[in-house]
Amino acid sequence: MPPPSVPSSRGRPQPVLGPPGGAAVFLVVTVDPGGEAAARETLAELAGWQRAFAFPHPDAGLTCVAGVGAEAWDRLYGTPRPAALHPFRELAGPRHHAVSTPGDLLFHIRATRPDVCFALTAEIMKGLRGAATVQDEVHAFAYYDARNLLGFIDGTENPVGPDAAETALVGDEDPEFRGGSYAVVQKYLHDVAAWEELTTEEQERVVGRAKSTGLELDAPGSHKEVNTVLGPDGGEQRILRAAMPFGRPGRGEFGTYFIAYARDPQITETMLRRMFLGTPAGGPDPLLDFSRAVTGTLFFVPSADLLQDLSAHGKPR
């Protein structure tokens, strides 16, 4: 029997706009053949599990955002597909490579404590047992004053308040999916040894920001400049970043799990094209000389109500 069509639904967004917290889990899975029903049921139960694990720890701020990849959307829910949902597009530049890797479902779990993130992750995997294969699982953490493992403050220009909602949430341009968002995820591994050979001034020229304060510097060709995308009106187009560090020093692993929410993934994709392929004004992002992308996937994050309708009933209500 073909999957059901998508109902027209309005509702609350998932906690895309939530605070980063002190801990996070990024879980990406593919749905095995025959696992579609279990995947839908897990997505339907997710809000209840989140409430159950949050109740004994109200100060932990536990949230979970679930996203669905393009191929999984077709298998789980059929058509119509959200207007801008497609598989992540690989980018092969002259020096750097943005890979496209498998991913049907994304679970982005955040809290102030790692134990509640762990507990919810374990419950999700219990629901998907025998129905899905884990492609990537990263347990991340806040590092000092919102710094990455290269020592720089991350997310300094994130929009806040109404601007964050305007940046991250789909509006009337795709009314059936209003309140949703598009999430691009990439796992980056850093060459910290090479990075630490640079002076602070050299690092600042690469990043385009002061290391101590995060303030923007005049640094042509820097990471900051390459990542600045202007719209038709000349204004800067923005995304909502929720990246967090992860690592295992004993294995020489130091990384950043990049996740960007946007109402239109083309904005994030334009940034990535500029980073990996270069711009008319110059070469690719100099930060990529020290950071390597090892995953890349695009997901649509339905509104909370649409996710509940789709997943719990498998058909329009």
145-198 pLDDT per residue, tens: 899 999 999 988 899 999 999 999 999 999 999 999 999 999 999 999 999 999
Arithmetic mean of pLDDT over the chain: 93
Tokens of 183: 């999430």
Cβ-proximal residues to 109 (8 Å cutoff; 6+ apart), any chain: 24, 25, 26, 27, 62, 63, 64, 117, 120, 121
Query: Catalytic residues, which ones?
Result: 154
Q: Which of 317, 309, 301, 303 is nearest to 67 (CA)?
A: 301
pLDDT reported for residue 313: 57
In the chain, pLDDT over 90 holds for what percent of residues?
Answer: 86
pLDDT at 282 over 80: no
Mean pLDDT of 222-236: 92
CB 73 within 8 A of CB 85: yes
pLDDT at 2 over 50: no
Mean pLDDT of 53-60: 95
Q: Which helix (H) or strand (E) holds 157?
A: none
CB 263 within 8 A of CB 163: no
Mean pLDDT of 279-306: 94
- Could you tell me which residue, 311 or 258, shows the higher pLDDT? 258
| Cα–Cα distance, 297 to 190 (Å, whole number) | 19
pLDDT reported for residue 157: 86
pLDDT tens digits for 211-228? 999 999 999 999 999 999
Mean pLDDT of 72-100: 96
pLDDT reported for residue 34: 98
Cβ atoms within 10 A of the Cβ of 166, count? 13
pTM for the complete prediction?
0.94
Q: Which of 259, 264, 299, 69 is nearest to 167 (CA)?
A: 264
| Cα–Cα distance, 205 to 195 (Å, whole number) | 12
pLDDT at 317 over 50: no
In the chain, pLDDT over 70 holds for what percent of residues?
Answer: 95
pLDDT reported for residue 308: 85
pLDDT reported for residue 4: 45
pLDDT tens digits for 254-278? 999 999 999 999 999 999 999 999 9
CB 204 within 8 A of CB 211: yes
